[in-house]
Chain A
Amino acid sequence: MGSIDSLYDRVKRYLAGFFTGEGSTDAITGYSSGELQMAVFLLVLAAMFRVFMIPLGIVLILVTSIMIVYFAPIIRTVDRENSSDLNRVLFWVIIYFSIILAVTLWGR
């Protein structure tokens, strides 16, 4: 009983995620296209790790697929994180800057 409810709730939440909140549109086309675009992009990104090791690429594609299904709809998160709020932008700038520094120094 519980598992059926949980599945129903999850599907309902998934569909409602496209419509509710502070979405920029009431039409599903943009959000569903964006969702697909993000999902494909994340899979492509995971596939890029084949450059280091092919098994690593395969594992990452599988892990990414599971995470996409689990965390969907991703587009809502992307939309939220895309705010021009100064604190949020500053936070991401610091994260990016740290990664750039870490990667280049590590590459040395």
Chain B
Amino acid sequence: MSEPVTNLWSVPLLVMIPIFTAIIVNFLYNRTRAIRFISIGAALAVFAIAVVSPYGLHWFAGHPAVNADGTYTFTASIFSWKLSLEYYYGPLQQILIALMSLLLLFVVVIATKSLSKNYGPYIAIVFLTYVSAAAILMANDFYNLWIAVELGSLLVAGLVASSGTSYAQKAALKYTFFSALAGSGLAISLGLILGITGYVNITDAITFLMTNDLGGMYAVLYVAFAFLALAWIYAGGLIPVHPLKSDVYRSAFPHATVLLQTQSKLMLVAIGIVLLRMFGPLPFAREVMLSISVLTMIIGIVMALIQTDFRWILAYIIVSHSGLVTVGLSLGTYQGVVGGLFQAVNDIVYMSILLLCCEMLLYFGKGTSIKFNGGIAKKSPWLAAFVILGAFAASGIPPFNGFQSELIIIQAALAEGLPEVAAVVLMVSISTFIALFRAIYSIFLKPGDPSPAGQPEAKGFTMPPTVFLFLSVLLAISFVLGVYPQLALGFLTESALKVVFVPWVP
């Protein structure tokens, strides 16, 4: 029998390459070509590592684990107490980090083309945001989880503030203010769990809870759950923190929002899985998670319906669909968790399509308000095609990917005897279509203002070839996952099985 690897080579590379890249591009500051070359190379490197890496664990600092008989071991076993900070790289981590690496590449290419100054610090923040999300997803101990969430929050604020508008800086400041609250919540949760179990390693803490009776100390575990749930709400932008998160999404450059929404989904998945593994068996824990998720879905989509700017609509749809991801996870069943994880993958893909289309509207200099636009489909038919197909995917229309994951979540809700939840998922799906097509009609399909008499018809808009390529790749992924969902499900089922049936295994 082969022992699980505890010094997996890829894990430190996935963390250190982006950190070193961030340091180098920060020093290079405004040297466009060098920054572009290094950042694209680094993004390609992390993508390649994520794709080819085997699965296993990495124990930082080289500390061994302690066996039950007091001897030391460097091989992973669930019945040994880990002294080191532990990262796990499995199929779930692989698909999500590979997808994020691909998006990192797109974001870096677009950012180095579209920005006119301060390349270095901006690209550095982009890479560090990537690291924070990857670390959150791989961490199997509360201490690393806490650090990564704290770092991620500050980097989100940095990325938003970099867009330069006063509105963005205000949104970043508000978000940072709340990070103090949620970060402290996670730290308190960590402290309480450490206090009652003696371990910060999630596997060890769960094993302790399963083999020991806490007696009267169970109340402390509930308080730890509440604080960790608070951090989950904050990190993922769920209700009631969603106004701050939607401000963040709509204030950043759309290409930055691609990475921000990916980071949020990864945080939701990572912390959601920890909540399920650690507190899933507690009475009302999953019900609390489900209530928050359903409320987020509804309030998010209702707010999207009443916006008049495409960026704002997308911001609220991202919030609403975060609820869709967490509904699946909160159901806590195998099918529900698979649906939630698959929804996270799909959501990242189709929202990226829509956000890149939004970026193109700004590139064309037309703005994103639905009041003062029109006729873009005539000037840029390809962009109109991409945005319409992206909207189909987001609305859960076959043969695109959104349909498959929403179907699994609906089936999971029905199987759990919760047709009301299934009905709400359907409502969100239909309302997403209404909200998006209200904007798409006004901006793209409605005839634009006619040219003044005597003047030639305005020329069409040409998309940069790189953005055309990125949109084509994302649309192809959306279509392939819609037609052949097993391609992604193969990476997700193992994690779902572990979360539901053997929660102590990372």
Contact = CB atoms under 8 A, between A and B. Distances in A.
Interface stretch (B64-72, B171-179, B384-392, B482-490): B171-179
Given A25-B306, A82-B303, A86-B174, A37 B427 contact: yes
B415 interface: no
Interface string B318-352: 00000000000000000000000000000000000
A95 B308 contact: no
A6 interface: no
A104 B302 contact: no
Given A25-B308, A33-B305, A82 B285 contact: no
A24 B288 CA distance: 31
B303 A78 contact: yes
Contacts of B312: 24
A89 B230 CA distance: 13
Contacts of B306: 23-25, 30-31, 34, 75, 79
Contact residues on A (Cβ < 8 Å of other chain), bracket: 35 or more
Contacts of B230: 93, 97, 100
Interface in A26-69: 27, 29-31, 33-34, 37-38, 40-41, 44-45, 47-48
B215 interface: no
Contact of B241 (A38, A40, A89, A104): A89
B353 interface: no
A105 B223 CA distance: 8
A93 B294 CA distance: 16
Contact of A79 (B181, B288, B303): B303
Given A30-B438, A44-B420, A108 B219 contact: yes
Contacts of B301: 37
Interface residues of B, number: 49
B307 A84 contact: no
A95 B424 CA distance: 24
B225 A44 contact: no
Given A89-B241, A104-B282, A104-B288, A78 B299 contact: yes
B306 to A, nearest CB: 4
A107 interface: yes
A47 B284 contact: no
B240 A103 contact: no
Given A104-B222, A104-B285, A44 B240 contact: no
B247 interface: yes
A44 B360 CA distance: 39
Contacts of B246: 84
Contacts of B27: none
Interface string B257-292: 000000000000000000000000011110110001
Q: Determine the main DSSP class of B at the interface with A.
A: helix
B244 interface: yes
B282 A96 contact: no
A86 to B, nearest CB: 6
A96 B239 contact: yes
B320 to A, nearest CB: 11
Contacts of B51: none
A41 B431 contact: no
B178 A103 contact: no
Contacts of A23: 306
B480 interface: no
Given A79-B306, A101-B226, A104-B222, A41 B241 contact: no
B355 interface: no
Interface of B: 171, 174, 177-178, 181, 218-219, 222-223, 225-226, 229-230, 233, 239-244, 246-247, 282-285, 287-288, 292, 294, 298-299, 301-303, 305-308, 312, 418, 420, 423-424, 427, 431, 434-435, 438
Given A34-B305, A38-B298, A89-B240, 12 more contacts: A23-B306, A24-B307, A30-B308, A30-B435, A37-B302, A75-B302, A79-B306, A83-B243, A84-B243, A89-B241, A101-B226, A104-B288
